[in-house]
Amino acid sequence: MLQQVNGHGSGSAAHGGESLREDLQDLLGEEVPMQQLDDLTKVNPVTLETVLRCLQARYMADTFYTNAGCTLVAMNPFKPVPQLYSPELMREYHAASQPQTLKPHIFTVGEQTYRNVKSLIEPVNQSVVVSGESGAGKTWTSRCLMKFYAVVAASPTSWESHKVAERIEQRILNSNPVMEAFGNACTLRNSNSSRFGKFIQLQLNGAQQMTGAAVQTYLLEKTRVAFQAPSERNFHIFYQALAGLLHLGNTRFADSGNEAQPCPLVDDAQCSVGTSALLLGLPEDHLLETLRIRTIRAGRGQQVFQKPCSQAECDTRRDCLAKLVYARLFDWLVSVINSSICAAPDSWTTFIGLLDVYGFESFPNNSLEQLCINYANEKLQQHFVAHYLRAQQEEYAVEGLEWSFVSYQDNQPCLELIEGSPVSICSLINEECRLNRPSSAAQLQTRIESALTGRPRLGRDRLSPEPSFIVLHYAGPVRYRTAGLVEKNKDPVPPELTRLLQQSQDPLLKVLFPADPEDKSQEEPSGQNRAPVLTVVSKFKASLEQLLQVLHGTTPHYIRCIKPNSQAQAQIFHREEVLSQLEACGLVETIHISAAGFPIRVSHRNFVERYQLLRRLRPAITPSPHGPCPNGGRSECPPCTEPATLQGLLQEILHALPAPLHCGRTKVFMTDSTLELLERGRAQVLEQCARRIQRGWRRHRCRTQARRRRAAVLIQAAVRSWLTRKHVQQLHAAATVIKRAWREWRIRMAFLASEELDGVEEKHSSQAPCSPSSSPLPPAQTRLQGAITRLWPLGLALANAAVGVHGFQRKLVVFACLQLPVGSPKSCAIQTAQEQAGVLSIRALPQGSIRFRCRKSPLRYADTCPGPSPNSVTGFNQILLERHRPGHV
């Protein structure tokens, strides 16, 4: 069930409010359900009541993030919502083309800052200011943003970059519990309240990949170590581990009754002193002496005096020792964390800063800590006002745009009251510290009231029983007690305490308090030798100015954390508490200006360079009477830097994308919706150009491939032709060699045969001349003569070839070639005897004919092969006989 605490009674007033609401609904017509409005600028009308109802409806629907123009409102759900911060959701917002179109979320702010860094638009560095009351969820919001940056700022292709980002993310997240243990405490408003400010710098390289981080802290509430308000607790670490500071806090002193004697310990404090000295590595007697006796130097001769301290001074020195050790320990812890996560200066170029500071505080008893905290919130509120409210309106006036100014709450008078010159609350408190005199609370109140009388932000509670003053902050009035302000502002550290800690045998204390051989600080000086006091307010102001200087050099983004109830329970919405927070952060004024103004401002040159390609959306048109910078059609457009280009471009844009677009003297002003239209049109043109480039490239690639294919075919044809010609030439050359060799062999054989046969013919002619026609040959010899005539060269070649064993296969081949009857190899033999009857000779005549001499033949077939006569075989026949000798193969 919804629980409301609104402080309004029922009756005529409530009935009148309901009637007015119904009349407004009738006037405005059917409205969208409140839980569906993701931007508070869309509520109509924009009032505290409608904004409150919208936030309430969305909170009860478990929708905890809502846009408020340039600010994101984050409601603390006071319950775990794991699906709202899953890695899958982070990647969804990171991969979205327009994260603004998704539901409001802190990931939207994170993605916008990351894309701003990638776009390299000045200022490149980004900062996210997370503000709100204590317990509103600032620390959790910063933690989720760091998780988001660690996920998206890692290279998807580089495993090494992913490991570096994961390592940094893990170390930062692991350092959070340690820093919260040493810097957070339970207060009246929050069980885990940050008692220090923290600025985390996430360092990115040129490729927008996370390479390191750095942590800077502000104003640790050291006084909580020694004193806690009723119902509040010390830092968490004191309930998790015993350091020697707890036992030191149990060391209590009694009044000595004699100024010349040191204050004795109470009965049960001796054990605590011994335990504390043991844990701190200090001699017990030396520790007691330092706490109870102070050493001073005075006179011209700088004589040394030792003076026992009073009970109050002993308590102050004890608390000072505890705060000094704890402050050094906290600073050392931050330095160790930075050394493990910080990158080298040359390895990063840009950064995204996360500022998590304590929210506005107002307790029953407020002192110097609350004054510094609220002072820091006033400075941050002024930074917000200057950046988004005042600067925006003033820029419209300078640019010549007609603008109905919206009244907003300016906190400059409050800042002048706190830090102004020459007289302010801080200057008066510092002056009391420099005077080095006992200061009473009533005297300080009187000085503040008399010196700052007439200031509109200074109030006074005349009914208060104790001295105090009231400051009217932007978030409401706060009453500060003057008792203890001067002592807390001094924050004195006696030199004896530092020298005592330098003598510690504890290894950690030796690191925290190193011995300096060149340290010339002696006993506490007095009189004219006292050095100027560096107060807490002065140091905090200097660190705050340094922080604001860093913020001014970045593009800020704001997240306002709202606490729906003070009981830290889910589904409970206290209207009065939320209303006070909305008024305190100036959220309504922010919504008014964001809804009626133009948050996007681009210089003429940058606008032309980025959006001149929108001319491709449609052909050029003639100027229309609407004009690009009509200011509602009531005034002329101021001169532009590039009048022709810009005027024509804006005319085409206005006709293509009708949206509120105004041109000032040096800048172009537009809303977020107009920017989305421009970016959508630009993306469309770029897509068209990309497609044209792709088509041209594909055409060029196809043509190139066709040319290469044709060239390859020509090369292949030429190579094949060359190879064929070369092969033919080789065959022709081989054939020529063969023919030449054959002709030579044929001529040689013919010559040898002619010579041989001529010699045989002459011999036989001389011995027994006979005519071939005188004795006719039988038919068998006639056939043999024809075979010899036709096939004698083949037979001659086979007879000369060494084939087979003992010439057996040679004989068979000869039989086959000569077409002789197949029979037993033994029954037929070849005889070469010129004396046997047969072919006398074969002679080649010049006319190409052959003349047969059958009287005698060099080859004779008979049953036996008698050995040739050496006297009857010469020349060519001699060669044949040598081939057929026994044993010749």
Three-state SS string over 19-53 comes to: HHHHHHHHHHCCCCCHHHCCEHHHCCCCCHHHHHH
291-314, pLDDT tens digit by residue?
888 887 776 767 778 888 888 888
More confident of the two residues 678 and 375: 375
CA nearest to 71, candidates 366, 325, 341, 380: 380
Confidence at residue 408, expressed as pLDDT on a 0 to 100 scale: 67
Q: How confident is the model at residue 396 (pLDDT cuts 50, 70, 90)?
A: confident
Confidence at residue 58, expressed as pLDDT on a 0 to 100 scale: 93
Confidence at residue 364, expressed as pLDDT on a 0 to 100 scale: 85
Instruction: Examine the pLDDT at 670 and tell me if it is beyond 50.
Output: yes
Q: How confident is the model at residue 835 (pLDDT cuts 50, 70, 90)?
A: very low
Helix (H) or strand (E) holding 297: strand 293-298
Beta bridge partners of 876: none
Q: How confident is the model at residue 146 (pLDDT cuts 50, 70, 90)?
A: confident
Confidence at residue 219, expressed as pLDDT on a 0 to 100 scale: 75
Mean pLDDT of 704-725: 94
Instruction: Examine the pLDDT at 25 and tell me if it is beyond 60.
Output: no
Mean pLDDT of 647-661: 62
Q: How far is CA 359 from the centre of its chain?
A: 31
Q: How confident is the model at residue 717 (pLDDT cuts 50, 70, 90)?
A: very high
For residues 22 and 30, what is the distance between their CA atoms, to the nearest angstrom? 11
Beta bridge partners of 481: 468
- How many helices, marked H, and strands, marked E, lie in the chain? 28, 22
**Range with top average pLDDT, 34-48, 269-283, 687-701:** 687-701
Beta bridge partners of 129: 355, 558
Confidence at residue 838, expressed as pLDDT on a 0 to 100 scale: 42
Q: Which residues, 6+ apart, have CB-to-CB distance to 605 below 8 Å?
A: 641, 642
For residues 212 and 217, what is the distance between their CA atoms, to the nearest angstrom? 17
For residues 286 and 307, what is the distance between their CA atoms, to the nearest angstrom? 15
CA nearest to 625, candidates 657, 654, 660, 665: 654
Is the CB of residue 55 less than 8 Å from the CB of residue 84? no
Among 164-173, 517-526, 776-785, the least confident range: 517-526
Helix axes 48-60, 575-584, angle to 10 degrees: 120
33-50, pLDDT tens digit by residue?
888 888 887 777 677 788
Is the CB of residue 616 less than 8 Å from the CB of residue 685? yes
Confidence at residue 237, expressed as pLDDT on a 0 to 100 scale: 84
Instruction: Examine the pLDDT at 27 and tell me if it is beyond 50.
Output: no
Is the CB of residue 572 less than 8 Å from the CB of residue 564? yes
Confidence at residue 845, expressed as pLDDT on a 0 to 100 scale: 43
HSE toward the beta carbon, residue 536, CA cutoff 13 A: 24
Instruction: Examine the pLDDT at 834 and tell me if it is beyond 70.
Output: no
More confident of the two residues 64 and 411: 64
DSSP E strand boundaries for 606-716? 661-663, 667-670
Q: What angle do CA 143, 148, 153 make, to 5 degrees?
A: 130
SS3 556: strand
Q: Which residues, 6+ apart, have CB-to-CB distance to 215 below 8 Å?
A: 175, 179, 198, 199, 200, 201, 334, 337, 338, 341
Q: Which residues, 6+ apart, have CB-to-CB distance to 6 below 8 Å?
A: 575, 576
Residues counted in the chain: 889
CA nearest to 563, candidates 6, 137, 1, 60: 137
Q: Is 839 exposed, middle or buried (0-12, 13-18, 19+ CB in 10 A)?
A: buried
Residue type, 382: Q
Mean pLDDT of 793-809: 52
Mean pLDDT of 861-872: 42
Confidence at residue 160, expressed as pLDDT on a 0 to 100 scale: 63
More confident of the two residues 573 and 753: 573
432-473, pLDDT tens digit by residue?
888 877 778 899 999 999 999 889 899 988 888 889 999 998
Mean pLDDT of 827-852: 42
Q: Where are the alpha helices (DSSP H) in 242-310?
A: 245-249, 270-280, 284-292
Is the CB of residue 121 less than 8 Å from the CB of residue 603? no
Is the CB of residue 195 less than 8 Å from the CB of residue 358? yes
CA nearest to 206, candidates 145, 123, 120: 120
767-781, pLDDT tens digit by residue?
555 444 445 666 666
465-518, pLDDT tens digit by residue?
889 999 998 878 999 999 988 888 887 788 888 888 898 888 888 888 888 655
Mean pLDDT of 73-82: 91
CA nearest to 856, candidates 877, 873, 843, 837: 837
Among 147-151, 235-239, 650-654, the least confident range: 650-654
543-589, pLDDT tens digit by residue?
889 889 988 888 889 999 999 998 888 999 999 889 888 877 767 76
Q: Where are the alpha helices (DSSP H) in 505-624?
A: 507-512, 536-552, 575-584, 587-596, 604-611
Confidence at residue 318, expressed as pLDDT on a 0 to 100 scale: 86
CA nearest to 861, candidates 823, 820, 889: 820
Q: How confident is the model at residue 365 (pLDDT cuts 50, 70, 90)?
A: confident
Q: Which residues, 6+ apart, have CB-to-CB distance to 493 below 8 Å?
A: 320, 324
Confidence at residue 761, expressed as pLDDT on a 0 to 100 scale: 59
Please provide the average confidence, as pLDDT, over all residues in the chain. Answer: 75
For residues 43 and 73, what is the distance between their CA atoms, to the nearest angstrom? 15
Helix (H) or strand (E) holding 737: helix 672-767
Look at phi and psi of residue 650 and say left if phi exceeds 0, alpha if psi is from -120 to 50, else beta: alpha
Confidence at residue 764, expressed as pLDDT on a 0 to 100 scale: 58
Confidence at residue 218, expressed as pLDDT on a 0 to 100 scale: 79
Q: Is 691 exposed, middle or buried (0-12, 13-18, 19+ CB in 10 A)?
A: exposed
Q: How far is CA 43 from the centre of its chain?
A: 37
